[in-house]
């Protein structure tokens, strides 16, 4: 291979067709179209790099040779591969990274990114091999040990993972990702020990929902509920649609119930009974559409998080005049759902309060 | 949340008088569903398919940007409804040709009407999607990664109609019309990004000519990003695709 070029070959049957912007069934049915599309795809991949690209599709294989202009071809291809990884284009990035490693076996950035990609796509054995090659170069830092620890943990090698992550943190005590990953393993047995690690990770990574969720869960495990609620709220704000946010929302709802029931024990909570009774009166016009509208709007507001333990009336609805407390809105949603769609999970258990309020409501009707 | 997306959500609230709420839902057939607000349900609800949760920032931004166009004047929000007489005439024509003529009449009529609605829905939405895709690409580099991955998935889905097994289930007129519109979308994306791969299948069947003309109409008429410019673009597309007689415009006052 010439010094200014990067070459690789990939079998078409190994090419992940789901990465192309063209339907897989169509491509499988038309080999000529498949060849044209794959060729265009690699032209697209390399266009931004400048230089010249030779692409051949023959005998079930696509061969790509890229010749850089004046730039360093390895660095240019590496940057491009990392860009592809950031877009989730793993299949396109892998041959580029492997072609770099074929030229430079100790290229740390290529080994690291390939190892991370293999780990993220569930190819743990290959990932561990690759990341072990990286740490054996002796030039690897905390990120490399951290990535190795994560891959080992995913593979089920808990002790090895702990050792790698401790090594990562010892190399770089202010590496937020290493701290977070170490904390996640430590928390399984000792939330107390994990707590300062997660706390430091959230300081170093203020926009990382994983660190905040981990810290929130640790605080919950240690019954430090007030602090946990604020941290979980932050996790939701950072990435409101992510799976982690769903988990944080669910934990916050349970936490609100815990707060609410702290002073009522197993008995129905008096304020919640009153709120349910109020909701039954407001929704008792026999108008199912109106009930649906109010319950729906309350539920939508609730997605942003309602403070059900704050007695101030700070919420308003478009569909119902007046100002409401968080608990009153939750009650409107709960009672509304009970009336129009009892199978729906309101996300909070007010069944005792609802039952008690129903008794009082029917007594007052008689 | 990406600041660009957050800002668009706030702009929609200001423009339309209704807030935007986002839900992540399982079981959606598309990557998102928008239920726009009305007085009895006073929230614009954007449902994001849970499978596309990672692209939610872009999906929400795109839905909000589309709403800014269709609701640019909340006192006059335009929608289309099918012209029954003309639609029936078209269905009758299709029922006499393959593949619908091979079906029993009731099934043929049912499937034909689904195709007809599909074409009109696509006619209404694709010019808007092209305008919004271009706007967000220009204004929000921070969303390029999410936009690219979602757009790839979308183009993949649009091109599925070209597979022989799919094509054989469609009247030729439905196929050609649909493919012309899809080609416009693929070409619009390629023009923005410089890519070639998305248009390869359309070039291979000669659909890029229609796609190119539709794209020119969109660029000429849709650039203002108002409901009026959207109506004009849809009508121009419909004229070119011989669909204009199939629908009428209806306006509704959606002020809060």
- Asked if residue A344 belongs to a domain, the reply is yes
Contact A22 B156 (CB under 8 A): yes
Residue A333 forms part of a structural domain = yes
The structure tokens 């990392």 sit at A82
Same domain, A254 and A183: yes
Q: Which of A262, A297, A317 is the last residue of a domain?
A: A262
Give the E-state strand segments of B42-103 in sequence order: 44-49, 77-82
CA distance A259 to A269: 11
Q: What's the length of chain A?
A: 366
Same domain for A276 and A246, yes or no, is no
- Reading the block at residue A72, the tokens are 């360093």
Q: How far apart are CA A1 and CA A12, in angstroms?
A: 23
Nearest chain B residue (CA) to A237: B1
In this structure, is residue A119 part of a structural domain?
no
Are residues A274 and A251 located together in one domain of the fold? no
Q: What is the pLDDT of residue A365?
A: 66
Mean pLDDT, chain B, integer: 90
DSSP-derived letter for residue A269 is P
> What percent of chain B shows pLDDT beyond 90?
52
Among chain A residues, CA nearest to B152: A21
Contact partners, residue A270, CB within 8 Å, separation at least 6: A264
- Closest residue to B160, CB basis, from A23, A240, A246: A23
Residue A67 is assigned to a structural domain of this protein? no
**What is the residue range of A250's domain?**
173-262
Structural domain total, chain A: 2
Is the predicted pLDDT of residue B162 greater than 90, yes or no?
yes
**How many CB atoms within 10 Å of residue A288?**
12
Which secondary structure element, helix H or strand E, spans residue B250, and what is its range?
strand B247-252
ipTM, two decimals, is 0.86
CA distance, residue A175 to nearest chain B CA (Å): 24
Mind listing the pLDDT tens digit for each residue in A36-85? 998 898 888 777 777 788 899 888 888 888 887 666 778 888 988 898 88
Q: Which of A19, A20, A241 sits opposite B24 (nearest CB)?
A: A241
| Same domain assignment for residues A216 and A303 | no
Which tokens sit at B74? 């909340």
Q: Among A29, A36, A297, select the one facing B42 at the smallest CB separation.
A: A297
Answer yes or no: is A60 within a domain: no
Could you tell me the CATH number of the domain that includes residue A253? Answer: 1.25.40.10
Tell me if A104 is assigned to some domain: no
Q: pLDDT (tens digit, 9 = 90+) per residue, B169-186?
A: 899 999 999 999 999 999
Examine the fold and report which residue of A262, A279, A298 is the final residue of a domain before the chain moves on: A262
Min Cα separation B61/chain A (Å): 13
Answer yes or no: do A241 and B42 touch at CB < 8 A. Answer: no
Do A253 and A316 share a structural domain?
no
DSSP A268: P
User: Do A278 and A331 fall within a single domain?
Assistant: yes
Domain-located, residue A34: no
Residue A145 lies in a domain: no
pTM of this structure:
0.71
Q: Dihedral through CA A138, CA A143, CA A146, CA A147, nearest 10?
A: -90
Chain A residue with minimal CA distance to B43? A297
Residue ending a domain, choose from A235, A262, A289: A262
List chain A residues with CB under 8 Å of B18: 318
Distance CA B150, CA A88 (A): 11
Q: Which residue of B has its CA nearest to A234?
A: B1
A293 contacts B41? CB cut-off 8 A: yes
Q: How many CA atoms lie within 13 A of A171 on its CB side?
A: 18
Q: Which residues contact A267 (CB under 8 A, 6 or more apart)?
A: A352
Question: How far does CA B236 lie from the centroid of its chain?
Answer: 15
| pLDDT at residue A213 in the model | 94
């Amino acid at each position: 291979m010439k010094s200014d070029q990067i070459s690789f070959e990939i079998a078409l049957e190994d090419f992940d067709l789901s990465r192309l912007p063209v339907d897989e069934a169509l491509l499988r049915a038309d080999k000529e179209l498949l060849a044209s599309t794959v060729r265009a795809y690699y032209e697209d991949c390399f266009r931004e790099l400048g230089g010249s690209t030779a692409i051949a599709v023959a005998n079930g294989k696509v061969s790509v040779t890229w010749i850089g202009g004046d730039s360093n071809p390895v660095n240019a291809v590496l940057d491009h591969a990392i860009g592809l990884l950031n877009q989730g284009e793993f299949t396109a990035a892998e041959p580029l990274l492997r072609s770099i490693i074929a030229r430079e076996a100790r290229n740390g950035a290529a080994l690291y990114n390939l190892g991370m990609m293999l780990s993220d796509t569930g190819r743990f054995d290959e990932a561990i091999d690759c990341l072990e090659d990286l740490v054996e170069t002796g030039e690897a830092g905390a990120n490399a040990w951290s990535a190795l620890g994560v891959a080992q943990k995913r593979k089920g090698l808990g002790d090895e993972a702990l050792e790698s992550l401790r090594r990562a943190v010892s190399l770089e005590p202010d590496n937020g990702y290493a701290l977070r990953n170490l904390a996640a393993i430590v928390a399984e047995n000792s939330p107390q020990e994990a707590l300062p690690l997660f706390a430091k990770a959230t300081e170093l990574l203020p926009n990382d929902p994983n660190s905040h969720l981990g810290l929130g869960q640790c605080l919950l495990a240690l019954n430090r509920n007030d602090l946990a609620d604020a941290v979980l709220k932050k996790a939701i704000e950072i990435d409101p649609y992510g799976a982690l946010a769903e988990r944080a929302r669910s934990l916050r709802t349970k936490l609100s119930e815990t707060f609410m029931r702290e002073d009522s024990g197993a008995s129905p909570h008096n304020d919640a009974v009153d709120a349910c009774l109020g909701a039954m009166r407001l929704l008792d016009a026999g108008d199912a559409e109106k009930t649906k509208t109010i319950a729906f709007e309350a539920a939508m507001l609730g997605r942003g998080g309602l403070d059900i333990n704050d007695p101030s009336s700070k919420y308003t609805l478009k569909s119902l005049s007046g100002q409401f407390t968080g608990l009153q809105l939750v009650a409107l949603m709960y009672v509304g759902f009970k009336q129009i769609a009892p199978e729906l999970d309101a996300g909070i258990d007010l069944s005792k309060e609802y039952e008690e309020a129903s008794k009082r409501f029917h007594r007052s009707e008689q | 949340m990406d600041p660009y997306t957050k800002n668009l959500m706030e702009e929609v609230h200001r423009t339309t008088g209704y807030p935007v709420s986002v839900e992540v839902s399982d079981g959606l057939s598309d990557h998102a569903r928008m239920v726009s607000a009305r007085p009895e349900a006073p929230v614009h609800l954007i449902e994001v398919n849970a499978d596309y949760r990672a692209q939610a920032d872009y999906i929400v931004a795109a839905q909000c940007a589309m709403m800014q166009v269709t609701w640019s004047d909340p006192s006059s929000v335009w929608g289309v409804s099918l012209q029954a007489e003309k639609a029936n005439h078209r269905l009758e024509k299709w029922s006499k040709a393959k593949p619908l003529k091979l079906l029993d009449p009731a099934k043929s009529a049912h499937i034909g009407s689904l195709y007809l609605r599909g074409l009109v829905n696509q006619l209404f939405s694709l010019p808007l999607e092209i305008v919004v895709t271009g706007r967000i690409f220009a204004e929000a580099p921070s969303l390029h990664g999410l936009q690219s991955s979602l757009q790839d998935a979308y183009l993949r889905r649009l091109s599925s109609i070209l597979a022989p097994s799919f094509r054989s289930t469609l009247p030729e007129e439905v196929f050609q019309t649909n493919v012309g519109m899809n080609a416009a979308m693929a070409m619009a994306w390629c023009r923005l990004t410089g890519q070639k791969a998305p248009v390869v299948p359309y070039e291979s069947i000669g659909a890029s000519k229609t796609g190119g003309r539709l794209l020119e109409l969109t660029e000429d008429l849709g650039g203002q990003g108002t409901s009026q410019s959207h109506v004009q673009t849809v009508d121009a597309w419909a004229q070119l695709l011989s669909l204009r007689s199939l629908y009428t415009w209806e306006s509704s006052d959606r002020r809060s």
